[in-house]
Amino acid sequence: MRGDERSSSEFLGGTAELASAARVWGNPRSARGPPSEKREVDDVASATVQLNIIPKRMLTRAEAAHHCGRPVKRFEVECHVAPVRFPNGDARYDVRDLDAWLDSLKGGCSSDADDIVGRLE
């Protein structure tokens, strides 16, 4: 071995430093103690992420087309839902109107709860 070449354990100063470095470098197997040592979590990292998503009610033409599962050009031809015009001139599609239009395409399906209960009786 040349003078500037050292093994990793020599470079880190021994096994304790090597085990510590292995934990930092993301190799938990090298950092583990003897096999008899019990661990609560075995090589599995976990995290909890809380996402609060607020759905939009008013959609642009592209968003409305995506909501209905249609390309924008087909959406413009097929959908007869009128957009809501805001005072500044923006046109947005109401999700409730789009959902009602989609429900009407199903033919014979009613969203009225009393109708559904009546059919079940």
pLDDT, tens only, 11-32 = 445 555 555 555 555 555 545 5
What is the residue whose two structure tokens read 């909501």?
Answer: 67
Q: Which two tokens stand for residue 52?
A: 């609060």
pLDDT, tens only, 20-64 = 555 555 555 545 555 555 555 556 788 899 888 889 999 999 999
Q: Which two tokens stand for residue 70?
A: 């249609």
Give the contacts of 116 (CB within 8 A, at least 6 positions apart): 110
Determine contact, residues 114/105, Cβ cutoff 8 Å: no
> Which sequence spans correspond to the domains of the chain?
58-107
Q: Please report, as a single letter, which amino acid is at residue 8.
A: S
